[in-house]
Every structure is written in C-alpha cells, then in structure tokens.
Amino acid sequence: CPNSCVFRLKELLRIKLIECGWRDQLKDHCQEIIKQKGLDNITVEDLVKKITPKGRALVPDEVKRELLQNIRNFLAERQ
C-alpha cells in the first residue's frame, strides 16, 4: 500500500492545486520571469529557484491542512 497511498496523496494534491488556481498562478509567474529575463537568458534551474518560494507561499492553507490530515491518516493506518 505505501506506493499506492503515496500516489493517491500526490494525485489529490495535484487536483487540489489545479482546482484552487495555484497551477495557473505559478504558470503566469513563470511567464513574467521569462518575459523579464528573456528566454535565452534563463535556465530551468534559475526559473525553479525563482518560482519555488512563491509557489510554496501560494499553496492555500486549506490544501495544506487537507494534505497533512491525509498523511496523518495514512501513517495511523500503518501502525
């Protein structure tokens, strides 16, 4: 079950982030950075470094709480 449970948690997170608009917000932020720097002047690594803090900050608290509760439930079932 651990692998399937991890997959389910990842899938739940992916769906929640799409539903709340997080993915679109982050995509827009990436486009802004690329526009400012120029496509030829930025690497994928640079882009990831720049968007990671904002990406984490944009995750709604409700999504964090729900994922954390699901992780707790998963761990409780394994004991």
The predicted-structure confidence for 25-71, as pLDDT tens digits, reads as follows 999 999 999 999 999 999 999 999 999 999 999 999 999 999 999 99
Domain boundaries, the chain: 2-77
What does 30-74 look like in DSSP terms, one character per residue? HHHHHHHH-GGG--HHHHHHHHHHHHHHHS-HHHHHHHHHHHHHH
- pTM exceeds 0.75 for this model: yes
pLDDT band for 77, please (50, 70, 90 cuts). confident
Q: Which fold has domain 2-77?
A: Serum Albumin; Chain A, Domain 1 (1.10.246)
